[in-house]
Structure 1
Amino acid sequence: MADDASRKRKVRGRKIRSDQSRKESRKAKKELARKANGSERTGDSPLSDPEEVTPEPFVETDAVRSLRGRITGWLEANQPVHLIGPTGCGKTALALSAAAERGRPVVWLNGDDAVDTAALVGDHAGGERYKEDDRFVGGVTKQTEIVRERWVDNPLSVAVREGATLVYNEFSRSDPAAHNVLLSVFEEGVLERPGKRGEDRTIDVHPEFRAILTSNDVEYAGVHRQQDALLDRFVGVQVDYYDEETEREIVRAHVDLPDERVEAIVDATRALRDDLEIVVGTRAAITAAKGLSVFDGQGNGEFNDELLTKVFTDVLAPKIAGEGADDVDDLRTEIGEAI
């Protein structure tokens, strides 16, 4: 009888351990499925609140509000907007301001030659492992290790799924081949994720998804010509340098200088823009103002054309870097004559 009771306890013990093992296995499978279905995100989310992306400071004059109104109007019409213009004219700040106006989450993406399809939609990032223990008979255990690749969505996938506003900065610096996935997004409302397997290979585009893209003019170095099939699905808004008063307000918002100094800097910027072959953007005016605030002693030192020439030479010299000292001297002369 004692042996029979002992045998029953052993059998019951194996059954309990087997039941626990099966429960743990089921729990591991559910956890893996939950992660695979995206209910638990890993890493930092590319989603940002609109308030977080609003440029600070951001100047709003009639010219700025009018241009932003065109952008938000096209977004309301469910049209992707492509902002095109010279470097340093404020395209990025304008795009972020327009995105924030919608009140929807914002996803930021910066283009360059390294951006490929995976950088847009996502890729496999390592694997997840769990073990299963199968107990067939007493004293015999079979252990199986299961490995499943983990997929991580990148900015475009997150934006189309969550109905965010995608701000794709320097769009034309990315390889056009990477943008093939955008065709189905804007035309059919579906994003395909190459490399992803299973029923969730595609994502239906959220009805609130919108896109704002910024690019420099085509003559800039490093700019790729994008495929016409994609460009036909955008509306293009040309962004140029703002009017004189708006440029003054922008400089004032960034640097604390007396009004006469700000006027002198903006006047010089606009003169150099007309006379020089290199690009002289509003960003250059802001940088010059920051330098002048130091070298001019916040307006208490000696301010003259010579100081203004030196400041703008330092600001613009990187645009001809590597061309030689004589070229910098020539640039200084041209700046002095323009000022």
Structure 2
Amino acid sequence: MGIQESVSDLTPNTGEAPWYHPTGNEMALFEQCHARGLAVMLKGPTGCGKTRFVEHMAWKLGRPLITIPCHDDLAASDLIGRFLIQHNGTVWQDGPLTRAVREGAICYLDEVVEARQDTVVVLHALTDHRRILPIDKTGETLQAAPGFQLVVSYNPGYQRMLKDLKPSTRQRFVAMDLDFPTPELEARIVQHEGGVDSATANGLVALAGRIRQLRDRGLAEVPSTRLLIAAAALVMSGIPLRDACYAAIVSPLSDESSMVGALRDLVDATFV
């Protein structure tokens, strides 16, 4: 998979701030890490707001943001760059990590454990006091520009069963644990992002609370705040509430017939 398919464009810091409601002291902690050039690891379940948090902090700090979705085929050259053949010869093209190092951007690797270990190793020299990026193919060693920060995220809940970061990698980051907000705050988020009234938002959050109790009863993933917002958006577009819940919450969580039936029963019991 090529660079353009793996990496989002450089996000400009213009317009309004990406909306984010803090759940603790995560904003102050992130600011201090950025001021001191410390790499940050965001740990938390799928859809709890990790990516939105990084987007908000990049805006707040006035730094460009480069986001890299990690996957099994992500190679070190996808991060650092490669030589390209053109009509007049070969030219070097920086990868997204190299661009971030040169420009002093925040580089965000989403779900970093999905990347191969040999790819993750290239981050090590950027996460300690050296803050350098060696480029073997060109013989260049880049010193990170002021403002550069490395941020990674992953979901320890399900990824740890299959793969995890090596201790030598984990200890290079300041770790921040994010989780789903309190029901009151989550309802405010769903209402704000989904555009529904408070009663509907509270109902969706109550449904999520019931389903999340099934985490250890055969449900691999529990409903995220993101799914609740999707259901709210469907409701605002005119889809009946139960149908919106079936499509946006139940179906994404499971294909197993008995579990789907149990989840649909919870929807019906919540919205009588």
**Which bracket does the TM-score occupy, shorter chain normalised?**
0.7 to 0.9
State whether structure 2 residue 22 is matched by structure 1 residue 88: no
The structural deviation recorded for 1:189 is 2.2
Say whether the 8 Å CA contact 1:162–1:209 is kept in structure 2. Answer: yes
Matches within 5 A, 1:197-216: 197-198=138-139, 201-216=140-155
**Residue in structure 1 matching 2:239, options 295, 304, 312:** 295
Q: Distance in 1 between matches of 2:20 and 2:132?
A: 37
Amino acid at match of 1:317: S
CA spacing shift, 1:267–1:119, aligned 2, 3 Å: same
The structural deviation recorded for 1:333 is 3.0
* Residue matched to 1:60: 21
* Residue matched to 1:127: 86
Structure 2: gaps spanning 5 or more residues: 1-6
CA spacing shift, 1:218–1:251, aligned 2, 3 Å: closer
The structural deviation recorded for 1:244 is 1.9
The structural deviation recorded for 1:234 is 0.3
The structural deviation recorded for 1:223 is 6.2
State whether structure 2 residue 127 is matched by structure 1 residue 193: no
Say whether the 8 Å CA contact 1:175–1:224 is kept in structure 2. Answer: no
Q: Distance in 1 between matches of 2:8 and 2:235?
A: 40
* Residue matched to 1:229: 168
Residues 181-190 or 84-93, more deviating: 181-190
What secondary structure does 1:123 align onto? strand
The total of aligned residue pairs comes to: 258
Q: Distance in 2 between matches of 1:190 and 1:214?
A: 21
Q: Distance in 1 between matches of 2:30 and 2:96?
A: 21
Q: Distance in 1 between matches of 2:159 and 2:15?
A: 30
CA spacing shift, 1:257–1:331, aligned 2, 3 Å: closer
* Residue matched to 2:181: 242
- TM-score for both structures, normalised by structure 2: 0.84
Amino acid at match of 1:100: W
The root-mean-square deviation of aligned C-alpha atoms, in Å, is: 2.6
| Structure with bigger gyration radius | 1
**Residue in structure 2 matching 1:49, options 12, 22, 35:** 12
* Residue matched to 2:59: 100
* Residue matched to 2:252: 318
Could you give the per-residue CA deviations for residues 189-248 of structure 1, whole angstroms, max 9, x where no partner exists? Answer: 221123x235xx221222321122111125238963222222111011010001122212
- TM-score for both structures, normalised by structure 1: 0.68
What secondary structure does 1:295 align onto? coil
Hey, which of these two has a bigger chunk of helix by percent? Answer: 1
What secondary structure does 2:158 align onto? coil
Q: Distance in 1 between matches of 2:133 and 2:42?
A: 23
CA spacing shift, 1:174–1:107, aligned 2, 3 Å: same
Identity, in percent, stands at 24
Say whether the 8 Å CA contact 1:84–1:236 is kept in structure 2. Answer: yes
The structural deviation recorded for 1:335 is 4.5
Say whether the 8 Å CA contact 1:176–1:224 is kept in structure 2. Answer: no
CA spacing shift, 1:338–1:273, aligned 2, 3 Å: farther
State whether structure 2 residue 56 is matched by structure 1 residue 115: no
Q: Distance in 2 between matches of 1:210 and 1:183?
A: 13
Q: Distance in 2 between matches of 1:45 and 1:287?
A: 22
The structural deviation recorded for 1:338 is 6.6
State whether structure 2 residue 272 is matched by structure 1 residue 333: no
CA spacing shift, 1:53–1:189, aligned 2, 3 Å: farther
Could you give the per-residue CA deviations for residues 141-195 of structure 1, whole angstroms, max 9, x where no partner exists? Answer: xxxxxxx42110011111111111112222221112102111112232221123x
Q: Distance in 2 between matches of 1:338 and 1:258?
A: 16
What secondary structure does 1:219 align onto? helix
* Residue matched to 1:31: none
Q: Distance in 2 between matches of 1:218 and 1:262?
A: 26
Q: Distance in 2 between matches of 1:45 and 1:216?
A: 20
Matches within 5 A, 1:70-81: 70-81=29-40
Q: Distance in 2 between matches of 1:45 and 1:283?
A: 20
The structural deviation recorded for 1:326 is 4.3
CA spacing shift, 1:337–1:263, aligned 2, 3 Å: closer
Residues 233-242 or 250-259, more deviating: 250-259
CA spacing shift, 1:222–1:161, aligned 2, 3 Å: farther
Q: Distance in 2 between matches of 1:292 and 1:45?
A: 30
Say whether the 8 Å CA contact 1:112–1:173 is kept in structure 2. Answer: yes
